[in-house]
Structure 1
């Protein structure tokens, strides 16, 4: 009989999860990505600035940036005057004009917009194509995108980092497939990512339009250097992209982002998605025009936010009332997002921007009225400074996020 003091027979330990060691090559890639991210977040920086920001020595920074200078990813600017303390004049680093550009695509119902974007966020050239909005022929859509990209790349095809595609509907980001576009049902099921990758030989990334816009803000707009904010599109439709802790938020396979179809009125107006009471039913052009017709406002069938704001400012009967209701309806959805996730900053895109300061200030005031008070978390409303370029710059940002390994 075995004593309680007898050592039990040795058995193999249960297998434990493990992770591979990080190779020197992977460390180099991560360090390069962090230096590039610092430049995007702050702007042109000297080696000394980068060393302070990343908390490493200037020698380490030199070993990271020199290969990128040699490969023409980065370039040194003109020497800057030294500080009052003296020392060697610094030379700020920024993206070289010869660095690989990025191809950006905005796929709309019946229309394709494309741009070649520099690594520093400058739109170099654009091209567009049309296709039948009601088509179910995948080749027509793919041909339109590929032809526009061919025009961008002519006459000398550059070694682009990749292609980013923004789609105004649900997508599967894992497979690069369009799931659903309410305004273009024929696009459902189209594997646009793999098909364009086959045509171009480049890596292709596909995502929902509002998330792409958020990436434009994150890399090139008011979201630079911020870890958390929301990017909201309001006009014909509603959509939101959320940047949380430095990365754009995606559900499994790219789910989520359809904030326009969150329910704000139980048993409310019917929505084109088949539900009732969606936020879109009370805060888009469709609702605005229906209400304008009921109030006998001029040009009701084509009314947008800019003309409504001007009518309200002139004291037109009914316009001020409709303006206030539109503000309230937008503020309801924004408040819900703030209460749940507290992004703090909401960057607005789309036709809503035409409302100017009168609209922006009222939305911010209403949201603050309805939001639970918390120290240091007063929500802010801002209009995008990227204007009409926001989606194409965001598509470039989609490629950058993958290149810099910031996409989960």
Structure 2
């Protein structure tokens, strides 16, 4: 695999410059005045911050076309030059890799998938290298350099160190993924928990843009939660903030893989739902699609399993709302394929459990394909590039 002769360096040498750029990235194009208002900076500070970014081509400035047709001198609009740098994002699942090539504005230019027949770290790294090599070949046709690679993995991930502490679906422990991937790809690498990476993408480019506090709850093989508090994605002291899947909602409920009983995940995770549908129907249900089909066909007991799952998720979301008071909760994940079977129960349990005005929190569903999770990995790489805080892996 080729390596870049020189790592691209973002020319924002102050927190103010990163802040202005991030503001324009999420909300632009903006006038300098509006960029200052949104970022809480003076006009002089904004001018100082944008100067090197304009010189290096990361920002451009000019009036909108419609403004040019009006009388007077319109205020110039500052916008991000998305073609100035490219990024790669890889989402690792238990049986597949999904990779994307994005521009600086995190717009997907190309997406690729590859099967993952072996979950051991070595074969996974080789598969990641293959996809990265393919995307780099396409990126070579563009003028902008590839400035970073983001990798999203489920489980306990130490982003600062670039280490996957524990990933239950891959059965990994203490894998220095950023360092190993950087050696293979020749790029700066950011490794993050997949739900946190998706949350970064929603914060900067999606349904969380402009919100000081929101949560992303993912429903699927596991039940995940990404949190934004006061404009910052929360990782927690030990990297496990937002473990909504292991909130106990029924102490007498089924045993969870974490050792407790009645966790949200033990009731609403896909494996738990499939096992329960198999138990109550007496059918040999092998996966979530079959379980959903039985529930929709009215097979006795199946729909009640989903109702119980919805209640558990609703209670878990209410706990987050009670503790943090987010403006919005975004529900996503592959489990939304069955959303019609438990949507009412989520809302009812949330309303019944949320305390006071916490019940006013907006609950929004966003079905997102796995390419959007890979885009989240790219967003984490963009975030590291802008703030100059990549994982320990370097190209």
TM-score relative to the length of structure 2: 0.83
Partner of 2:261: 276
* Contact map agreement 1:217 1:224 (CA 8 A) in 2: yes
Q: What SS does the aligned partner of 1:114 have?
A: strand
Partner of 1:40: 25
Partner of 1:379: 361
Structure 2 CA distance for aligned equivalents of residues 351 and 65 of structure 1: 40
Matched, 1:126 2:111: yes
2:126 aligned residue (118, 129, 143): 143
Q: What SS does the aligned partner of 2:161 have?
A: coil
* Contact map agreement 1:80 1:91 (CA 8 A) in 2: no
Structure 2 CA distance for aligned equivalents of residues 206 and 182 of structure 1: 16
Q: Which moved more, 1:337-346 or 1:81-90?
A: 81-90
* Contact map agreement 1:113 1:129 (CA 8 A) in 2: yes
Q: What is the deviation of 1:224? A: 0.5
Partner of 2:384: 402
* Contact map agreement 1:235 1:350 (CA 8 A) in 2: yes
Correspondences of 1:301-312 after superposition (within 5 Å): 301-304=286-289, 307=292, 311=296
Matched, 1:163 2:123: no
Q: Which moved more, 1:356-365 or 1:231-240?
A: 356-365
Q: What is the deviation of 1:156? A: 5.4
Matched, 1:346 2:332: no
Structure 1 306/97 Cα, relative in aligned 2: closer, same or farther at 3 Å? farther
* Contact map agreement 1:209 1:391 (CA 8 A) in 2: yes
Residue-by-residue CA offset, 1:241-294 (whole Å, 9 max, x unaligned): 111111111123523343323333335322233443322111122232233234
Structure 2 CA distance for aligned equivalents of residues 141 and 84 of structure 1: 55
2:166 aligned residue (180, 184, 188): 180
Q: Which moved more, 1:60-69 or 1:34-43?
A: 60-69
Structure 2 CA distance for aligned equivalents of residues 292 and 346 of structure 1: 28
Structure 1 CA distance for aligned equivalents of residues 354 and 106 of structure 2: 35
Residue-by-residue CA offset, 1:48-100 (whole Å, 9 max, x unaligned): 53355456666764554343233221234663334999532345332224311
Structure 2 CA distance for aligned equivalents of residues 222 and 351 of structure 1: 18
* Contact map agreement 2:253 2:262 (CA 8 A) in 1: yes
Q: What is the deviation of 1:348? A: 0.8
Structure 2 CA distance for aligned equivalents of residues 63 and 306 of structure 1: 58
Structure 1 134/357 Cα, relative in aligned 2: closer, same or farther at 3 Å? closer
Residue-by-residue CA offset, 1:134-172 (whole Å, 9 max, x unaligned): 43xx43222211221111111554522322211112122
* Contact map agreement 1:210 1:257 (CA 8 A) in 2: no
Residue-by-residue CA offset, 1:334-385 (whole Å, 9 max, x unaligned): 12222222224211111343345774454233212211113x7612211126
Aligned residues: 378
Q: What SS does the aligned partner of 2:88 have?
A: strand
* Contact map agreement 1:163 1:202 (CA 8 A) in 2: yes
Structure 2 CA distance for aligned equivalents of residues 309 and 366 of structure 1: 24
Matched, 1:365 2:351: no
Structure 2 CA distance for aligned equivalents of residues 266 and 235 of structure 1: 22
Alpha-carbon RMSD:
3.4
Q: Which runs of 5+ in 1 are unaligned?
A: 1-24
Correspondences of 1:231-242 after superposition (within 5 Å): 231-242=216-227
TM-score relative to the length of structure 1: 0.80
Q: What is the deviation of 1:308? A: 5.7
Structure 1 104/331 Cα, relative in aligned 2: closer, same or farther at 3 Å? same
Q: What SS does the aligned partner of 1:243 have?
A: strand
Partner of 1:392: 374
Q: What is the deviation of 1:406? A: 9.5
Higher RCO (C-alpha 8 Å, min separation 6): 2
Correspondences of 1:162-311 after superposition (within 5 Å): 162-185=148-171, 187-296=172-281, 300-304=285-289, 307=292, 311=296
Structure 2 CA distance for aligned equivalents of residues 84 and 305 of structure 1: 59
